[in-house]
């Protein structure tokens, strides 16, 4: 199941591959359609009239209930569907039914989509969150637990930070050069083979 935020436009994509003759990949030049069935009442979307129609099965739907996908020239076929315009942007589940009606690659495939509350982040919003996490400053606090933050601090201290070996005690320091991130006991000063966290 594909889970997305309600009311967000989504690009429906079918990837066509020739599993028997890899030299034929990517498969382009096909006529590909998509039909959309709303799970809550078993109705099919009419792409022309912008309404939901009742049919006994997929084989009974009309031409206006199938939308042609655009051949992207790389083996993928795509159509951007606006759930807000089609179904008021509400929380719903759908079945996307793809079909190549004839030819060598004749066949069908389907996907189940769930449009839910609160996950509709744009590409820009997702990038901002990732940047906020990845660009967070590595603080000089100790890193003794198994969290991602502690791992980042320890990695910074190991790779870039100041360290000192006094006797058989190895100390790693944070970004300020004074706060201790981690301390280790070295097993042998001449030929060290291991370090043990203190």
Q: Are residues 110 and 25 in the same domain?
A: yes
Residue 48 lies in a domain: yes
Domain's final residue, options 122, 153, 181 = 122
CATH number at residue 13: 2.60.40
User: Is residue 36 located within the same domain as residue 83?
Assistant: yes
Q: Does residue 132 fall inside a structural domain?
A: no
% of the chain beyond a pLDDT of 70:
90
Domains contained in the chain, number = 2
Between CA 74 and CA 104 the distance in angstroms is 18
Q: Kindly state whether residues 55 and 81 are assigned to the same domain.
A: yes
Task: Name the burial class of residue 150, with classes exposed (0-12), middle (13-18) and buried (19+) by CB atoms within 10 angstroms of its CB.
Answer: middle
Which strand (E) or helix (H) includes residue 84? helix 83-87
The predicted structure's pLDDT at residue 128: 83
* More reliable by pLDDT, 120 or 192: 192
User: How confident is the model at residue 57, as a pLDDT?
Assistant: 93
Per-residue pLDDT of 1-41, as tens digits, reads 999 888 889 999 999 999 888 888 899 999 999 999 999 99
- 85 and 163 fall within a common domain: no
Q: Do 65 and 148 lie in a common domain?
A: no
Q: Are residues 111 and 47 in the same domain?
A: yes
Range of the domain at 146: 137-197
């Amino acid at each position: 199941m594909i889970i997305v935020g309600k009311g967000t436009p989504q690009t429906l994509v079918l990837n066509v591959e020739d599993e028997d003759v890899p030299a034929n990949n990517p498969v382009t030049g096909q006529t590909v359609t998509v039909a959309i069935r709303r799970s809550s009442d078993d109705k099919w979307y009419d792409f022309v009239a912008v309404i939901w129609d009742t049919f006994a099965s997929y084989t009974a739907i009309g031409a206006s209930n199938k939308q042609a996908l655009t051949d992207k020239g790389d083996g993928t076929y795509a159509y951007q569907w606006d759930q807000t315009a089609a179904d008021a942007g509400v929380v719903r589940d759908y079945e996307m039914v793809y079909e190549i009606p004839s030819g060598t690659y004749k066949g069908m495939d389907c996907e189940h989509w769930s449009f839910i509350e609160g996950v509709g982040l744009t590409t820009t919003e997702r990038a901002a969150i990732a940047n906020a996490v990845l660009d967070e400053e590595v603080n000089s606090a100790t890193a003794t637990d198994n969290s991602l933050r502690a791992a980042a601090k320890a990695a910074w201290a190991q790779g870039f930070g100041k360290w000192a070996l006094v006797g058989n005690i190895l100390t790693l320091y944070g970004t300020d050069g004074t706060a201790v991130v981690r301390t280790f006991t070295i097993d042998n000063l001449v030929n060290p083979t291991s370090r043990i966290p203190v």
